[in-house]
Amino acid sequence: MNRRDFLQSASAAALASTTIARAATPAVKPIRLGVIGAGSRGQEDLRQFLRVPGVSVEAICDIYPPRYEQVNRLAGKTVPATANHHELLARTDLDAILIASPVGLHAEHVIATAKTGRPIYGEKALGFTVEDNHNILAEVTRHKVLFQIGHEYRYASWAQEAIRRVHAGDIGTPTHIYAYWHRNGDWRRTVPQPDPGGKLEHLINWRLYRESSGGLGTELGSHHIDMANWVFGEQPQSVIGTNSICRYHDGRTVGDNVQAVFSYSQGRRLVFSSITDNAKLGCELWIYGTEGSVQITIEDATFYFEKKKLSNSPDDSVGKTVVERGVVTGASYSTAGEMPYRGPGEKVVTATSEDPTLAAVRSFTEAVRGEHEIFADVHCGFRAAIACSVAHDAVFEENKMSIPSAKI
């Protein structure tokens, strides 16, 4: 489709969809979405957006043409499509823009969109490099656009309730967070063949290459860093880490496993681990406080409380024989004190357990309609993404690196 056709069919489609939206949901203000980057996540976000009354998709921009038909199927109509984001942004009938391109393009796409003044739902991570993050924050702020970052777990009811209780002191003082994102799979997407020059490989598997991806630390860890920032009320100050290719020697240049320790004020830590060889732990985040712990997963949260402390002093057991569960020891420990707690926890109960992405995009549409402020705003995106950008270098350098704060 050429530029003129794109713009013309866009107007017709916008008119038609506005009519349908008004007929179906007369009470709500229509929100006509444009999408930049309609791949896997863009389509998932879109699927959820289309469940919100009054939302329609009116334009997509993607440089990979098979996406057009996929979006048409999702939308149940032909959506005007272009490969050039400037063409999409030149349209005057779009109310908000969803950006779900690869992270290395976020700065270009978000800043161009911010200049048009339109509200943006931008996928995480905010930006790829330290400079990208500063620039995005500066431009979004300068143009005063509504911006929500795709940290959808901020909208998960069980995470909100668990962290509200942590802030209220239910587990004492939270000092450490251990976050795991463990999988068993190669993280590789199938590329159509033939693929001369590996162009499609890099377009489709951009996550596997260091120049276009922050690897597991950014792609998965950004969610956990954001949650740790939420719990601790600040961004981390420094990070030290490592990564390696342990299993998948297939030409990728990011690690197939990564470990990083993020330092917050007062000696508080986030320890993050992602491996791709064993999925036993799955995706879970533990907040450890002085009086208890809470485990947050992608579908629930559970509290565990510390039992009354046994004596921590080795002197108390000197010369004594301790017999517990068939173990006889005179050593300076008691098995009861050192064994992991294996009893039941106390599950967080919430009124709804709505899909976090649906909750996030619905909240965004409410903010666009002026009903409330944005919770996962551009500052929240910045604080997680800047840590990811620095960690991406730190896990290769294996040096402790400082994480800069926002300049504004």
Q: State the nearest-atom distance from the C-beta of 232 to ligand NAD, in Å.
A: 21
Instruction: Return the number of other C-beta atoms located less than 10 Å from residue 25's C-beta.
Output: 14
CA 136 from centre of chain: 17
Question: Could you give the CA distance from residue 289 to residue 171 in angstroms, rounded to a whole number?
Answer: 5
Strand, helix or coil for residue 84: coil
Q: Which residue in the set 42, 236, 292, 381 belongs to the binding site for ligand NAD (CB under 6 A)?
A: 42
Integer-rounded Cα radius of gyration of the chain: 24
Q: State the nearest-atom distance from the C-beta of 240 to ligand NAD, in Å.
A: 23
**DSSP conformational letter for 408:** -
Q: State the nearest-atom distance from the C-beta of 389 to ligand NAD, in Å.
A: 13
Per rule CB under 6 A, is residue 188 in the interface with ligand NAD? Answer: no
Closer by beta carbon to ligand NAD, 40 or else 332: 40
Q: State the nearest-atom distance from the C-beta of 351 to ligand NAD, in Å.
A: 23
Q: State the nearest-atom distance from the C-beta of 346 to ligand NAD, in Å.
A: 27
Phi then psi dihedrals of residue 207, to 5 deg: -60, -25
Q: Which residue in the set 32, 67, 154, 392 belongs to the binding site for ligand NAD (CB under 6 A)?
A: 67
Question: Could you give the CA distance from residue 363 to residue 198 in angstroms, rounded to a whole number?
Answer: 40
CA 7 from centre of chain: 33
- Find out whether 53 and 28 touch, Cβ atoms under 8 Å: yes
Instruction: Return the number of other C-beta atoms located less than 10 Å from residue 263's C-beta.
Output: 17
Q: Which residue in the set 58, 87, 139, 152 belongs to the binding site for ligand NAD (CB under 6 A)?
A: 152
Q: Which of residues 92-131 bind ligand NAD (CB under 6 A)?
A: 100-103, 105, 123-124
- Find out whether 99 and 88 touch, Cβ atoms under 8 Å: no
The residue to which tokens 């944005």 are assigned: 374
**For ligand NAD, how many residues bind (rule: CB under 6 A)?**
24
Q: Single out the segment in contact with ligand NAD by CB under 6 A; choices: 39-47, 230-238, 311-319, 368-376.
A: 39-47
Closer by beta carbon to ligand NAD, 80 or else 292: 80
Q: State the nearest-atom distance from the C-beta of 278 to ligand NAD, in Å.
A: 22
Q: Which of residues 194-223 bind ligand NAD (CB under 6 A)?
A: 203, 219
Per rule CB under 6 A, is residue 62 in the interface with ligand NAD? Answer: yes
Per rule CB under 6 A, is residue 355 in the interface with ligand NAD? Answer: no
Query: Which ranges of 350-403 does DSSP label H, i.e. alpha helix?
Result: 356-368, 378-397
Q: Which residue in the set 12, 63, 336, 339 belongs to the binding site for ligand NAD (CB under 6 A)?
A: 63
Q: Which of residues 358-377 bind ligand NAD (CB under 6 A)?
A: none
Closer by beta carbon to ligand NAD, 34 or else 289: 34
State the DSSP H helix or E strand holding residue 322, giving kind and residue range, or none if neither. strand 322-324
Closer by beta carbon to ligand NAD, 60 or else 367: 60
Per rule CB under 6 A, is residue 399 in the interface with ligand NAD? Answer: no
Would you state the structure tokens that stand for residue 18, as one six-digit string? 């506005």
Nearest alpha-carbon partner for 116 in 81, 145, 93 = 145
Q: Please state whether 118 falls in left (phi above 0), alpha (psi between -120 and 50) or beta.
A: beta
Q: Which residues bind ligand NAD (CB under 6 A)?
A: 36-42, 61-64, 67, 85, 100-103, 105, 123-124, 150, 152, 203, 219
